[in-house]
A and B are shown apart, each in its own frame.
Chain A
Amino acid sequence: MPFLSCTYDRIESMKSMTPKEIGLKALRLAGMISLVGVITGVIVYLIIGGRDRFEPFDLFMSVVIGTIYSATMWGVQDMAGAFLERHIPLVTKWSVAARMVIHSIAIVFSFLLATALIDLIFDPWFINSSGTMIVIAFVAFSMSLIGNGLNYLDAFYKRIREAERSALGAELGALRARINPHFLFNSLNSIAALIRTRPQEAEAVTEALADLFRYSLRASEQPDVSLADEIEAAELYLQIERARFRDRLQVTIDVPGHLQRIKMPSLIVQPLVENAVKHGLGRTEGRCEVVIQGRETTEGLSLTVTDTGPGFDSADPETIFVRGHGLANVRDRLRHQFGEAASLKLMKNGVEILLPVAESLHAPAARREMA
């Protein structure tokens, strides 16, 4: 008995409600049933004319019968709804259609049930014409169909929106800032190479790697950090790469002190530096310098990471921002967070990011000096 089991579910779910909630729910249900009953009754009274003057009793009876219809049909359809909710999930438009069909059958059934009930209670004096029947059936049917249809479509689109939201969540998850596994692999290789010949350096690299991963793990809980934190993470990264490349990797960091407190998303600078090391140093025989430079512009913060390597092969961003590329990931994360307000631009020998800055850069510094 699926219907009964659904009803049982509902009763079970009511157990978790307070008496006040149950009362309110019942009151609201009764109100809705009566409202539909009154509307049906009045429509039936008005349409089935032939009365020369106002007949209060007829109107009253119409309303009573309308309410009986309303209550019976409401009850049956409520059960049908619970049944459908459980057995036909709203996944495709076809499931919406299937629910509508089953609901229509339930409406016809409930209408017949209500008619039989009224026939039982009253003398069939009232339902004396097929016209009355048809009007009542039509009103009940169309109201129910419109109501249910709207409900279903609403639920259906809500579900689609939820799915979209979770897809977006998954996409954001994929974009989540994380350390490139290739870098971890190379670092472990460096450590393995250093342990035998330079154990102290191996220790220092391991510590820096741990600090960098701690920063990366913290990034998932604390998405916004200061530029100073970002520079520090980039320095950890560069320290590790310097163990690998030694003097070949030269580093210059030029970020004025008053910019250091600017808030920004986590793990933005490190991927840019990694890109410079990979494509600049990685394609330069001998030394290569990586320069991190922070500047204040009218729009906010300009941060450039350049290298003295051969530069980008092509000015075509499409070939550089391939999916999964570190730079593409940074660009997409900036876009998610700031929309058009932030940007990532390719320069001849590196990358520039522009970030909007919420607060004035100078005011808090002045306050701090006063304190």
Chain B
Amino acid sequence: MIRAIIVDDEPPARERLQALLAEVDPPVEVVAQAESGAAALPLIHELKPDLLFLDIRMPGLDGFDVVDLLPAPRPHIVFVTAYDQHAIRAFEVHALDYLLKPVRLSRLTQTLSRLANRENRGAREGVEELVRERGSQPLARLTVHAGRKLRVVPLDEIRWIESRDKIVLAHLEDGASHPTDFTLDELEERLDPSRFLRTHRSCIVNISAIRELIPWFAGTYVVKLDGGTQLPVARRRVRDVKESLGKRTAR
């Protein structure tokens, strides 16, 4: 049986979709409902559904943000929207599966049968394409693994991110550190450069956490964070670090 999760901030919409999914043949089991993107991510990670019905317009993380933060392998995604023309254009461009609200049983059946016949490999590639395209946009949050749960962390709460033995660890304000699926290179590209700074091959630092820049040896430096943590600054990155910090103080 196909297992699905429904993500929508409006309860009636979730209930209707669940009711429709019970009527289709073969039926789809709804293993969870989530009222926000942030609530959905851990559920998706934990329950590993085959199918995800994802509303686009939601407070906090919208549907596209959820896709951005969802580590691969992703479930098959069917986007749901009421009237977002911008989103619909994106669906069309990437040949993604989408449903318009109010969701019709006939249209839902059609989408599911395409999925069963594996006709929409295009849609899966489309999602990859969408994620790559959105890769150019700065991230607003980060997903980290907290035990078996996937946690969504606002960027303000991240003090620094380091890679250690092929694991990328995000160190948070509360002292905890959690692994994330992003690589440092990806993060360097996708984090807002006015807020986060790559100081070293193994390290990205939240600029607002930096307290001191201390000369070390052989032209290298260390940055001292507010908690006393010291992190290395590579020689070839010193200039960038100084510039970023200078810009910040000048502001």
Say how far A246's CB is from chain B's closest CB, in angstroms: 5
Q: How far is the CA of A282 from the CA of B9 in the complex (A)?
A: 9
Contact between chains at B60 and A243 (CB < 8 Å)? no
Say how far B21's CB is from chain A's closest CB, in angstroms: 12
List the one stretch of A13-21, A190-198, A362-370 in contact with chain B.
Answer: A190-198
Q: Which B residues are in CB contact (< 8 Å) with A190?
A: 10, 12
Is B216 at the interface (CB under 8 A from chain A)? no
- Chain A, range 212-258, C-beta contacts under 8 Å to B: 243-246, 248
Contact between chains at B82 and A185 (CB < 8 Å)? yes
Contact between chains at B16 and A197 (CB < 8 Å)? yes
Kindly supply a per-residue 1/0 record for chain A positions 175-194, scoring 1 wherever the CB is within 8 Å of any chain B CB and 0 otherwise. 00000001001101110111
Is A165 at the interface (CB under 8 A from chain B)? no
Contact between chains at A193 and B59 (CB < 8 Å)? no
Interface of B is mostly: loop
Is A285 at the interface (CB under 8 A from chain B)? yes
Is B11 at the interface (CB under 8 A from chain A)? yes
Is B38 at the interface (CB under 8 A from chain A)? yes
Is B240 at the interface (CB under 8 A from chain A)? no
* Total count of chain A residues near the partner, CB < 8 A: 23
Q: Which A residues are in CB contact (< 8 Å) with B13?
A: 189, 193
Q: Which of B9, B20, B35, B102 contacts A189 (CB 8 A)?
A: B102
Which of B10, B19, B20, B82 has its CB near the most chain A CB atoms (within 10 A)? B10
Contact between chains at A193 and B36 (CB < 8 Å)? no
Tell me the nearest residue of chain B to A195, going by C-beta: B16
Kindly supply a per-residue 1/0 record for chain B positions 38-68, scoring 1 wherever the CB is within 8 Å of any chain A CB and 0 otherwise. 1000000000000000000101100000000
Say how far A288's CB is from chain B's closest CB, in angstroms: 9
Say how far A331's CB is from chain B's closest CB, in angstroms: 26
Is B15 at the interface (CB under 8 A from chain A)? yes
Contact between chains at A243 and B12 (CB < 8 Å)? yes
Is B101 at the interface (CB under 8 A from chain A)? yes
Q: How far is the CA of A193 from the CA of B35 in the complex (A)?
A: 16
Q: Which B residues are in CB contact (< 8 Å) with A189?
A: 13, 82, 101-102
Say how far A134's CB is from chain B's closest CB, in angstroms: 76
Interface of A is mostly: helix
Q: Which B residues are in CB contact (< 8 Å) with A243?
A: 12
Q: Using known A-B contacts A189-B102, A192-B16, A285-B60, determine if residue A244 contacts B83 with beta carbons closer than 8 Å.
A: no
Contact between chains at B12 and A244 (CB < 8 Å)? yes
Say how far A299's CB is from chain B's closest CB, in angstroms: 36
Q: Using known A-B contacts A185-B82, A189-B82, determine if residue A197 contacts B12 with beta carbons closer than 8 Å.
A: yes
Contact between chains at B83 and A193 (CB < 8 Å)? no
Which of A186, A189, A248 has its CB near the most chain B CB atoms (within 10 A)? A189
- Chain A, range 261-300, C-beta contacts under 8 Å to B: 281-286
Tell me the nearest residue of chain A to B57, going by C-beta: A282
Contact between chains at A186 and B16 (CB < 8 Å)? no
Contact between chains at A196 and B60 (CB < 8 Å)? no
Q: How far is the CA of A296 from the CA of B10 in the complex (A)?
A: 37
Say how far A209's CB is from chain B's closest CB, in angstroms: 14
Which of A190, A193, A282, A283 has its CB near the most chain B CB atoms (within 10 A)? A193
Contact between chains at B19 and A196 (CB < 8 Å)? yes
Contact between chains at A246 and B11 (CB < 8 Å)? yes
Contact between chains at A285 and B38 (CB < 8 Å)? yes
Tell me the nearest residue of chain A to B8, going by C-beta: A193
Kindly supply a per-residue 1/0 record for chain A positions 31-73, scoring 1 wherever the CB is within 8 Å of any chain B CB and 0 otherwise. 0000000000000000000000000000000000000000000
Contact between chains at A283 and B12 (CB < 8 Å)? no
Q: Which A residues are in CB contact (< 8 Å) with B35?
A: 248, 286
Q: Which of A185, A198, A283 contacts B83 (CB 8 A)?
A: A185
Q: Which of B10, B38, B59, B102 contacts A244 (CB 8 A)?
A: B10
Q: How far is the CA of A285 from the CA of B66 in the complex (A)?
A: 14
Say how far B167's CB is from chain A's closest CB, in angstroms: 29
Q: How far is the CA of A284 from the CA of B38 in the complex (A)?
A: 12
Kindly supply a per-residue 1/0 record for chain A positions 150-194, scoring 1 wherever the CB is within 8 Å of any chain B CB and 0 otherwise. 000000000000000000000000000000001001101110111
Q: Which A residues are in CB contact (< 8 Å) with B38?
A: 285
- Chain B, range 164-200, C-beta contacts under 8 Å to A: none
Contact between chains at B59 and A282 (CB < 8 Å)? yes
Q: Which of A182, A246, A285 contacts B59 (CB 8 A)?
A: A285
Which of A194, A197, A246 has its CB near the most chain B CB atoms (within 10 A)? A197
Contact between chains at A193 and B60 (CB < 8 Å)? no
Contact between chains at B102 and A283 (CB < 8 Å)? no
B residues at A contact (CB < 8 Å): 9-13, 15-16, 19-20, 35-36, 38, 57, 59-60, 82-83, 101-102
Q: List 13 A-B contacts (CB under 8 A).
A: A189-B82, A190-B10, A193-B10, A193-B102, A196-B19, A196-B20, A197-B15, A244-B12, A245-B10, A248-B9, A248-B35, A285-B60, A286-B36
- Pairs of residues from A and B, 3 with the lowest C-beta to C-beta distance, nearest first: A192-B102, A193-B12, A193-B16
| Known A244-B11, A285-B38; 8 more pairs at CB < 8 Å | A185-B82, A188-B102, A192-B102, A193-B15, A194-B12, A248-B9, A281-B59, A285-B59
